[in-house]
């Protein structure tokens, strides 16, 4: 890092080669797709470049870089979670609308709930919800059938609704009672 | 974890694009960026204080001036430090951001609500103008003057910022800083002390910057 700060050509490639894989792996944890993880990794190294003169000689680079990665990922999540929630999450199992009692708290709970899903469900939810891709496109990219995508999405929604209702986030708008899964 | 070949190339290109005076400004060490921004905000207040000092300066209560300056400057320094906090340090706790935001909007209002400096009635009766029919024109003049004087330093602050995205917390810090600086300028410049004038002409400046921050943030989402 000291060589990079001093402007040595090639030092960046060494840094990137040594740490990029670790940063991508960190970004992939907790519901971030490969493409987004790569974008975020690029942001991390761009921020490293901008902050390079803040680096104290002799300090450990890895924790320094991972704090940048953590903050970049955190901002990514903030951006994602500001988007409107999908209508499918806002209906009970028979299609009646649900009321959100506390949007901010609900989103925090939702973030944790999504992270708790198995990888197979997270991938489908992420592609359908955050990337606005069709069931057919998701099926092609994951190498599974369209029906399997729907099944995974349904199971994921059921699980998310369960977590959200247990947290008190979702209530039936008509009855005021907690939502129960079908 | 395997790293795609094109990712290194893309990152190299992104870094190569970091050229020019703006890139050089935000690549400065955080201590230098903070000092530069603080000096610019401080100079704004200092220049107005020297060149356009309030007419009742000699008669204005020293204690009130000191407390007001400390509250406004303290909030501004905190907002500046939080806004320019480097990304390689942990993100500040929400409670700190909230406290500074409250200070940014609350301190000017609080100062406006303090008892008027009645000692000025005899020493500088002109300080009690700006009420009645004069309220809106004089308040508007202060509002525009305060907001305008904070803009140059605000521009530099945004140039020193390393972040690409805008978050509500960061925009709030900018609004608080600009509003507090504008109120410091008005504190050293405007001799009017009536509560209605201070509320309408001084304490509303942070609200303007808050609304601008909100509009900018909404456009960025």
- Say whether residue A45 is in contact with chain B using an 8 A CB cutoff: yes
Last residue of a domain, one of A32, A61, A81: A81
**Residue B139: pLDDT band with limits 50, 70, 90:** very high
CA B137 to chain CA mean position, Å? 23
Regarding whether A147 and A75 lie in a shared domain, the answer is no
Regarding whether A142 and A74 lie in a shared domain, the answer is no
Regarding whether A141 and A59 lie in a shared domain, the answer is no
A98: CATH: 1.10.10.10
Regarding whether A60 and A27 lie in a shared domain, the answer is yes
Give the total number of structural domains in chain A. Answer: 2
Least confident segment among B2-6, B33-37, B137-141: B2-6
pLDDT above 60 for B131: yes
- Say whether residue A18 is in contact with chain B using an 8 A CB cutoff: no
Regarding whether A173 and A134 lie in a shared domain, the answer is yes
Residue A145: the pLDDT is 85
Burial of residue A57 (CB within 10 Å: 0-12, 13-18, 19+) is exposed
Contact B54, B189 (CB under 8 A): yes
Q: Which of the listed ranges A33-37, A59-63, A113-117, B177-181 does the model predict with the highest average pLDDT?
A: B177-181
Regarding whether A92 and A127 lie in a shared domain, the answer is yes
Last residue of a domain, one of A81, A99, A114: A81
Regarding whether A100 and A62 lie in a shared domain, the answer is no
Q: In B, what residues contact A, Cβ < 8 A?
A: 1-4, 7-8, 10-12, 14-15, 18, 23, 26-30, 86-91, 162, 164-165, 167, 221
pLDDT above 50 for A101: no
Regarding whether A36 and A98 lie in a shared domain, the answer is no
Regarding whether A70 and A6 lie in a shared domain, the answer is yes
pLDDT above 50 for A97: no
Least confident segment among A53-62, B118-127, B137-146: B118-127
Residue A32: the pLDDT is 67
A37: CATH: 1.10.1740.10
A15: containing domain: 2-81
Last residue of a domain, one of A59, A81, A103: A81
Say what the ipTM of the complex is.
0.80
Contact A53, A1 (CB under 8 A): no
**Contact residues, A window 77-116, toward B, CB-based 8 Å cutoff:** 78-79, 82
DSSP one-letter string for chain B = ----HHHHHHHHHHHHT--SHHHHHHTS-HHHHHHHHHHHHHHHHHHHHHHS--TTTTTS-HHHHHHHHHHHHHHHHHHHHHHT--TTSPPPPHHHHHHHHHHHHHHHHHHHHSPP-TTHHHH-GGGG-S-GGGHHHHHHHHHHHHHHHHHHHHHHHHHH---SS--HHHHHHHHHHHHHHHHHHHHHH-----HHHIIIIITTHHHHHHHHHHHHHHHH-
């Amino acid at each position: 890092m000291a060589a990079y700060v001093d402007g040595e050509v090639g030092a960046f490639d060494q840094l990137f080669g040594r740490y990029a894989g670790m940063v991508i792996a960190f970004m992939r944890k907790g519901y971030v797709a490969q493409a987004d993880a790569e974008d975020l990794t690029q942001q991390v190294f761009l921020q490293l470049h901008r902050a390079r003169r803040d680096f104290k000689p002799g300090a450990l680079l890895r924790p320094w870089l991972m704090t940048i990665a953590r903050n970049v990922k955190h901002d990514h999540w903030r951006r994602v979670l500001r988007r409107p929630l999908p209508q499918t999450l806002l209906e009970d199992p028979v299609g009646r609308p649900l009321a959100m009692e506390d949007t901010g708290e609900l989103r925090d709970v939702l973030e944790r709930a999504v992270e708790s899903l198995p990888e197979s469900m997270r991938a489908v939810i992420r592609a359908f919800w955050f990337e606005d891709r069709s069931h057919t496109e998701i099926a092609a990219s994951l190498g599974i059938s369209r029906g399997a995508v729907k099944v995974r999405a349904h199971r994921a929604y059921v699980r998310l609704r369960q977590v959200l209702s247990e947290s008190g986030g979702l209530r039936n708008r008509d009855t005021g009672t907690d939502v129960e899964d079908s | 974890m395997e790293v795609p070949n094109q990712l290194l190339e893309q990152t190299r290109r992104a870094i190569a694009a970091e050229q020019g005076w703006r890139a050089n400004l935000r690549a400065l060490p955080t201590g230098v960026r903070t000092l530069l921004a603080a000096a610019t905000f401080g100079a704004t207040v200092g220049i107005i204080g020297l060149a356009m000092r309030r007419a009742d300066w000699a008669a204005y209560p020293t204690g009130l001036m000191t407390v007001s300056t400390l509250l406004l400057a303290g909030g501004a320094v905190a907002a500046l430090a939080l806004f320019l906090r480097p990304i390689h340090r942990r993100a500040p706790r929400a409670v700190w951001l909230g406290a500074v935001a409250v200070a940014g909007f609350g301190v000017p209002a609080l100062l406006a609500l303090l008892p008027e400096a009645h000692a000025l009635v005899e020493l500088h009766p002109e300080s009690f103008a700006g009420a009645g029919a004069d309220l809106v024109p004089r308040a508007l003049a202060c509002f525009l003057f305060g907001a305008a004087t904070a803009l140059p330093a605000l521009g530099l602050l945004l140039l020193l910022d390393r972040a690409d995205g805008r978050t509500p917390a960061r925009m709030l810090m900018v609004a608080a800083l600009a509003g507090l600086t504008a109120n410091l300028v008005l504190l050293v410049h405007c001799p009017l002390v009536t509560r209605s004038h201070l509320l309408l002409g001084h304490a509303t400046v942070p609200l303007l910057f808050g609304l601008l921050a909100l509009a900018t943030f909404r456009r960025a989402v």
